[in-house]
Amino acid sequence: MRLRRFTEPVFESLIKISGYSTGFIVLLIVIFLFKEGISFFNLSPVDEGSSLWVHNSNPVKKLTAPQIKDIFDQKITNWKALGGNDQPISLCTLDELGEAFTEEQLGAKFERLPACIDSYIDSLPGTIGFFPDKQTANALKNAQPVQVDKVSFSKFISGTEWFPTSRPAASMGVMPLLLGTLLVSFFAILFALPLGLAAAVYLAEIADERVRRILKPVIELLAGIPSVVYGFFGLVVIVPLVQSTFNLPVGETALAGSIVLAIMALPTIITVSEDALRTTPRAMKEASLALGASQWQTIRKVVVPYAASGITAAAILGIGRAIGETMAALMVTGNSAIMPRSLLQPVRTIPATIAAELGEAPFGGLHFKALFALGCILFIITLIINFLVERVSAKRVR
15 in helix, strand or coil? helix
What is the structure's pLDDT at 138? 62
108 in helix, strand or coil? coil
Neighbours of 90 (CB within 10 A): 16
Largest CA distance in the chain: 102
Give the whole-angstrom CA distance, residue 224 versus residue 202: 22
Q: What is the pLDDT of residues 63-91, one digit of tens each?
A: 888 888 888 888 898 998 888 888 898 88
Q: What is the pLDDT of residues 323-364, one digit of tens each?
A: 888 888 888 998 888 888 888 999 999 998 998 888 888 888
Give the whole-angstrom CA distance, residue 320 versus residue 63: 39
Instruction: For residue 12, give every residue at least 6 positions away whose Cβ sits within 8 Å of its Cβ, in sequence order, or none.
Output: none
Residue 396 has pLDDT above 70, yes or no: no
Give the phi and the psi of residue 173 in degrees, each rounded to 5. Answer: -105, 125
Q: What's the chain's average pLDDT? A: 85
Structure confidence at residue 93 as a pLDDT band (50, 70, 90): confident
Residue 395 has pLDDT above 60, yes or no: no
Q: What is the pLDDT of residues 263-299, one digit of tens each?
A: 998 988 898 888 888 888 888 888 888 888 888 888 8
Instruction: Single out the residue of 290, 291, 271, 288 nearest to residue 280, CA to CA.
Output: 288
Residue 1 has pLDDT above 60, yes or no: no
Give yes or no for a contact between 289 and 295, defined as CB atoms under 8 angstroms apart.
yes
Residue 302 has pLDDT above 90, yes or no: no
pTM of the shown model: 0.84
Average pLDDT over every residue of 186-198: 90
For 276-319, the DSSP string reads HHTTS-HHHHHHHHHTT--HHHHIIIIIHHHTHHHHHHHHHHHH
- For residue 286, count CB atoms less than 10 angstroms from its CB and return exposed for 0-12, middle for 13-18, buried for 19 or more: exposed
CA torsion 197-199-204-210 (nearest 10°) is -170
Give yes or no for a contact between 51 and 136, defined as CB atoms under 8 angstroms apart.
yes
For 209-266, the DSSP string reads HHHHHHHHHHHHHHTTS-HHHHHHHIIIIIHHHHHHHHT-S---SHHHHHHHHHHHHH
Would you give the end-to-end CA distance of the chain in angstroms?
46
Q: What is the pLDDT of residues 129-185, one digit of tens each?
A: 888 887 776 667 888 888 888 888 888 898 888 988 888 888 888 999 999 998 998
Instruction: For residue 394, give every residue at least 6 positions away whose Cβ sits within 8 Å of its Cβ, in sequence order, or none.
Output: none
Residue 392 has pLDDT above 70, yes or no: no
Neighbours of 300 (CB within 10 A): 13
Average pLDDT over every residue of 385-391: 72
What is the structure's pLDDT at 3? 62
Report which DSSP code applies to 96. Answer: H
